[in-house]
Structure 1
Amino acid sequence: MITLPLRLSPGDDLRVAVVAALLDSGQQAGFVLQGIGSLSVAQLRYAGLPQPTVLQGDLEILTLAGSVSADGAHLHMSVSDAQGRVLGGHVAAGCIVRTTAELLLALLPAHRFTREHDARTGYPELKISPDPLPR
């Protein structure tokens, strides 16, 4: 395992930046171990709902974790608002960094992650394979 600390800047799309960091590293598999920071917009899909809910305002990232592959990420996050209310769910594109986001990405050189449609769940799900050419 190789660790890659990341600092995202104001205006960055959190999900896009995480996938870009994996691609830039040349690796094929990774996990976000944790993340903290702030967002001005969070797009979270709650359990059982088909579309994300847009949260706007001063939001603090309390937790962030998930798997990352070259063809996407499966991230979950909890955030709190200015009144301390906590919400969490599946991270959709459009989570915009307000001041900073600090993440720790674990890269897994001996593995390749891909996403393949699973007829049982209806979603593209994680497929774990050995990487024939570890980088």
Structure 2
Amino acid sequence: MSSARAESSLQVYVVRYGPGSELLGSLQAFVKERQLKAPFIMTCVGSVTSAKLRLANATATNLNEIIQLSGRYEIVSLVGTLNPDAHLHICLSDSKGKTVGGHVMGNLQIFTTAEVVIGEAVDLQLTREMDNITGFPELVVQPHP
């Protein structure tokens, strides 16, 4: 298995999205508008009323491990890269503090707010290429052209 390693300068952006916005789509629009080449989530707090997540048992050929959440959830953690094929993982907690997490598939409807700090490795470019071993598009790190 290969590994990706590189160094870069850092640019930081802070954004806030309000009630009713869809978080993943909003983040992807932000990245596209600013033409960011190596963006990633540094931190995020807020809440959502729905989420579609792929769980750990899913494979490229078995996507049955997808759940659709509906209700009020606090964003406990959101991490990952925001290149065109975003790879984000989220941890959410319900009204009793019970947590659930997984790979973000979309439908992150914001309840009250989402305060997001986005970093960009300005000297790099992040892309994804299909990996024959995992069956998923995996991260490729390259110098920014």
2:39 aligned to 27, 30, 44, which one?
30
The alpha-carbon deviation at position 82 of structure 1 amounts to 1.2
1:128 is aligned to 2:141:
yes
TM-score normalised to structure 2 length: 0.86
Poorly superposed stretches of 4+, deviation over 6 Å: none
Instruction: Give, as a single letter, the amino acid of the residue that structure 1 aligns with 2:66.
Output: P
Name 2:80's counterpart in structure 1: 66
Matches within 5 A, 1:47-86: 47-49=56-58, 50=63, 51-69=65-83, 71-86=84-99
Residues paired across the two proteins, number: 131
The answer to whether the 8 Å contact 1:19/1:72 transfers is no
CA distance in 2, matches of 1:24, 1:2: 15
1:101 is aligned to 2:123:
no
The answer to whether the 8 Å contact 1:2/1:108 transfers is yes
CA distance in 2, matches of 1:96, 1:58: 10
2:20 aligned to 11, 17, 40, which one?
11
CA distance in 2, matches of 1:76, 1:53: 14
Name 2:52's counterpart in structure 1: 43
Q: For 1:115-134, what per-residue CA distance to the aligned partner results, in whole angstroms no more than 9, with x for missing partners?
A: 111111101111111111xx
The alpha-carbon deviation at position 108 of structure 1 amounts to 1.6
Task: Please tell me the root mean square deviation across aligned C-alpha atoms, in Å.
Answer: 1.1
1:115 is aligned to 2:128:
yes
The answer to whether the 8 Å contact 1:32/1:106 transfers is yes
Q: For 1:71-97, what per-residue CA distance to the aligned partner results, in whole angstroms no more than 9, with x for missing partners?
A: 221111100011211111111111111
Instruction: Give, as a single letter, the amino acid of the residue that structure 2 aligns with 1:31.
Output: F
- Gaps spanning 5+ residues in structure 1: where? none
Give the % identical residues. Answer: 34
CA distance in 2, matches of 1:53, 1:14: 17
Q: Which structure: larger Rg?
A: 2
The alpha-carbon deviation at position 106 of structure 1 amounts to 0.1
